[in-house]
Amino acid sequence: MLEQLTLGRYIPGHSWLHRLDPRAKLVLACYFIVIAFLTTNWLTYVLMFAFIGGVIFLTGLSFSYFVRGIGPLIWLIVFTAILQLLFTPGGHIYWHWGILMITSTGIQTSTAVFLRFLLIITMATVLTLTTAPLAIADGVEALLRPLRVIHFPVAQTALMLSVALRFVPTLLDEAQTIMNAQRARGVEFNNGGLIKRLRAIVPLLIPLFVGAIGRADDLATAMESRGYQGATNRTRYRVLKWHNADTIAVVVILVLNVVLVVLRHM
């Protein structure tokens, strides 16, 4: 299951989205996540899913790849939607038992949460699949550069982000390797009740955390041996450049926002 997770992985390519400036992709992805909460009726949801479908097409990657990648996260989305369904009062009550209830408002809210989570996770997946971790770090550092006026540690923040994004796929692959080793020793992760499954995860978490701490220590030692000093007198191999395609992408997302607002009031 974990090897199918695409969130946090980067796939090299030469598509239109791959060639966009990382600053533009970061701003557009965050802006899309914000306007995703403007969806209030079926017209707005159709528009947003049509837009995200077009974005997936522009990545040059298979649509089924995204479906398989989001699969491991679908249970988290469903669990969140169920909580909204059972604990949201208001409207007509269809079922009630203690503090649990299913109402018309709860159904609407849970459906909205489910669909918005799909939009947000898909856009985040598109961002990481088409942008290298170092490019994302460079984009974040460029966008946060004005905060240097108030002595915000911009370079250190960008470094932490790049390291985190870089090791997400590594940790997932290592977790899958540990799970396979535990299965070979008779551990069952998918059988039994909730308590039994949680107990089966403990042998997975301990070696995973130990490996992560050891890898972090090795990385710190390597950086010190190379004389890393943060943002002090550092030159750059990759220079970010804003192109016409980035401007077009910004205009498209703004038009999407305007159309979304219009459809919201229909």
Residue 185: pLDDT over 90: no
Return the pLDDT at 102: 86
Full DSSP string of 76-88? HHHHHHHHHHHH-
Counting Cα atoms < 13 Å in the Cβ hemisphere of 110 gives: 21
- Which tokens sit at 86? 């059972």
Residue 14: pLDDT over 90: no
Domain boundaries, the chain: 1-131+241-266, 133-234
- What is the per-residue pLDDT across 122-151, written as a single tens digit (0 to 9) for each? 898 888 888 888 888 888 888 888 888 888
pLDDT band at 51 (very low <50, low <70, confident <90, very high): very high
- What is the per-residue pLDDT across 213-264, written as a single tens digit (0 to 9) for each? 888 888 888 888 877 776 566 666 677 888 899 999 999 999 999 999 898 8
Q: What is the pLDDT of the chain when averaged over all its residues?
A: 82
Counting Cα atoms < 13 Å in the Cβ hemisphere of 166 gives: 13
